[in-house]
Amino acid sequence: MNATPRRTVLVTGSTSGIGEAIAAAFARDGAEVIVNGRDPQRTDGAAERIRATAGNGEIHAVAADVSTAEGVHALTDAVPDVDVLVNNAGIFGAKPAFEITDEEWSRYFETNVLSGIRLTRHYAPRMVQRGWGRVIFISSESAINTPKEMIHYGATKTTQLAVARGFAQEVAGTGVTVNTVLPGPTLTPGVKVFIADRVGDSIPFDEAERRFIAEERPTSLLGRLIRPEEIANLVHYIGSDGASATTGAALRVDGGVVNSIIP
């Protein structure tokens, strides 16, 4: 019986949080994993942390700012082909709706949407030629539940759903799948800062977490923040051979925050 070949996996924005957890999950499975971030030191540091628990996985660090066309070109020049592309790079932040400038809207669109479009445009046709590939966009439950404190973030996450579905239709029947994963509120360094700004930093974080979920995400069925590894578990499956019949889908790992029985 033929062994499954070692897959090459690129996870953008993988220097911490969800991205690092996703990269680590594929590394533990023996994949060749490309860790990516904007800052070379942070990217190297994340690669070292993942390497320490990677088993027989092979880890590489490639620093490039995928929010720009130049950064995407630098990344694709360094890594011409991958088997699994995880478009995880993204930014978020709270701002009153009427104070979001044109420049800020553009920055969110470039980072959260165009980065994935540019990378998919490069890598997916090569996957089609080989007859196998996985493209995964990391969206958010905010794609469905637009938060009034960050509509620019929510709008870009909604756009990812349409982009991924369109690419999935383009590669139909080729052995390549394209899906979107929708995490809910997750315990990452950025979210810790976000919660401190929203709830206050004068109370223990456990209490701040509880208060944030109760007051601002009350539909959560978990009643807590999701852990990055819980997101990574679903992404790892979607990037596997076992998920061959799942494509064009928006898959929730939101802790039940979205109050709907339809994915």
Catalytic residues: 153
Question: Is residue 66 within 8 Å of residue 74, measured between CB atoms?
Answer: no
Closest of 242, 114, 253 to residue 180, by C-alpha: 253
Which value, to the nearest 10 degrees, does the dihedral of the CA atoms of residues 30, 34, 36, 42 take? 60
Q: Copy the structure tokens of residue 65.
A: 């700012």
Q: How far apart are CA 134 and CA 124, in angstroms?
A: 8
Between CA 175 and CA 70 the distance in angstroms is 30
Query: What 3-state DSSP class applies to 187?
Result: coil
CA torsion angle 57 242 25 165 (round to 10): 120
